Structure 1
Amino acid sequence: MRLSRIIMALMVGLAVVAVVAVPTAAGAAQPQPQPTTTDTPQPPPYVPAPPSLTVNRPTIFLGETVVLTGTGFGRTETVDIVVSVTPLAAPAAGQAPARRSDGSTVAMAPVAYQASAPVSFTAYTNGQARFTKSYKPSVTGLLTFTATGRESDRSASTELQVLHKKQPLPVTGDSIGTPMKLGGGLIGAGAVMLLLTLAWRRRQRFGGAAH
């Protein structure tokens, strides 16, 4: 009797364990719901192109204006531009003046008369990290522009050569007198030829009448 009771107790225990384990296993076998993503996808971070600074004309005469264009800086950023000036070198004694690519020559001013103090100004970029700025140099020489963004610390440089203005050729008394003398000589020669022609015609007329 005691052995049968022990066997019955074991069978009841196993049955209880089976009943409890079956729902648990069934629940574990069911697919679990996947979490849904409701966040809006973010655009990739803005990576600007390498900064650049250019001028619309590499060489100008003093008094003319150039346009500086900067790209690749920060968006809506203040850009500080520093201008350093390298004076034009004076030619050595007996040296020919500088010659441009078009064949014309440029007289180089002595270094002593050139200003070399740096100049600075500011520009402001738009939403595309771009700016344009007009600039009118007040000195001659090789100008180097260096632009640096205040927030991005991105920097770029470019150069501009500023030459002296073309000076008109002076008109002197000798240059005026020479053409006048030449014209007067031609007028006198023409008058003499006219008188000789009239005299020859008169002689021919009277000579013909005598015959």
Structure 2
Amino acid sequence: MRLSRIIMALTVGLAVVAVPTAAGAAQPQPAPSATTDPPQPPPYPPTVASLTVNRPTIFLGETVLLTGTNFGPNETVDISVTVTPLAAPAAGQAPARRSDGTTVAMKPVAYQASAPLNFTAFTNAEGRFTKSYRPSVTGLLTFTATGRESGRTASTELRVLHKKQPLPVTGDSLGTPMKLGGGLVGAGAVMLLLTLAWRRRQRFGGAAH
């Protein structure tokens, strides 16, 4: 009897201990996280920078305005310029023409100051900048801007043509006006001589009467 009571008491105790363990195992467990650290956002928004000029074509000696947008805020932007010669003669560069119809080649105006091919600009808090530039050479100019901190880059093109010049005065051009002037002087001299002869004739004719 005593032994059976002891066995029964042990059985009841084991059953009581097993019930909470089974209940805990039946509860759903949270899924483990794939990563321990949350992803960090990039230092700058994934936007595309742009670079534009206010005039796509100018004449040598004129100034353009470069505008950059969507660069990093308050950063330094390096701008480089590459020059490609124009394949065709510049528009508006008409050759000088002599009086006999032949042409004379016109030379471009030489500028003393040379525009830099590498310079910098500084953006504001919105990543925008404006920069004026006056080219000193003709051709197709390509501007490339690169932000030092953001690494963003953008490009634009500008066509620079020879400056319009007045037709030069050549020796042949002066020949025609001089010839006309000489002819007018000769005609005036003949008219003067005829007038003097007529007056002389009138005076002697009057004396004879």
TM-score bracket for the superposition, by shorter chain length: 0.5 to 0.7
Q: In structure 1, what is the equivalent of residue 66 of structure 2?
A: 68
Rounded to whole Å, the distance in 2 between the matches of 1:71 and 1:194 is 79
Say if 1:88 and 1:108, in contact at 8 Å, map to a contact too.
no
Q: In structure 1, what is the equivalent of residue 205 of structure 2?
A: 207
Q: In structure 1, what is the equivalent of residue 140 of structure 2?
A: 142
Q: In structure 1, what is the equivalent of residue 129 of structure 2?
A: 131
SS at match of 1:152: coil
CA deviation vs aligned residue, 1:19-48 (integer Å, no higher than 9, x gap): xxxxxxxxxxxxxxxxxxxxxxxxxxx979
Q: In structure 2, what is the equivalent of residue 175 of structure 1?
A: 173
SS at match of 1:198: helix
CA deviation vs aligned residue, 1:102-128 (integer Å, no higher than 9, x gap): xx648899xxxxxxxx94322111123
Q: CA distance change for structure 1 residues 108 and 71 in 2, over 3 Å: closer, same or farther?
A: farther
**Map of 1:178-193 to 2, 5 A cutoff?**
178-193=176-191
Indicate the percent of aligned positions where both proteins have the same amino acid.
81
Pairwise CA distance, 1:189:
0.6
Aligned residue type for 2:177:
P
Pairwise CA distance, 1:187:
0.8
Aligned residue type for 2:191:
M
Q: In structure 2, what is the equivalent of residue 28 of structure 1?
A: none
Q: In structure 1, what is the equivalent of residue 7 of structure 2?
A: none
Q: In structure 2, what is the equivalent of residue 153 of structure 1?
A: 151
Give RMSD over aligned pairs.
3.5
Say if 1:48 and 1:74, in contact at 8 Å, map to a contact too.
no
Q: CA distance change for structure 1 residues 69 and 48 in 2, over 3 Å: closer, same or farther?
A: farther
In structure 2, stretches of 5+ residues that fail to align are: 1-43, 96-104, 108-115
Do structure 1's residue 122 and structure 2's residue 125 form an aligned pair?
no
Rounded to whole Å, the distance in 1 between the matches of 2:158 and 2:82 is 10
Rounded to whole Å, the distance in 2 between the matches of 1:175 and 1:209 is 53
2:53 paired residue among 55, 70, 80? 55
Pairwise CA distance, 1:142:
0.4
- TM-score for the superposition, normalised by structure 1: 0.55
Say if 1:48 and 1:72, in contact at 8 Å, map to a contact too.
no
Rounded to whole Å, the distance in 1 between the matches of 2:179 and 2:159 is 44
Do structure 1's residue 82 and structure 2's residue 80 form an aligned pair?
yes
Aligned residues: 149
Rounded to whole Å, the distance in 2 between the matches of 1:164 and 1:140 is 6
- TM-score for the superposition, normalised by structure 2: 0.55
Q: CA distance change for structure 1 residues 169 and 105 in 2, over 3 Å: closer, same or farther?
A: closer
Say if 1:83 and 1:119, in contact at 8 Å, map to a contact too.
yes
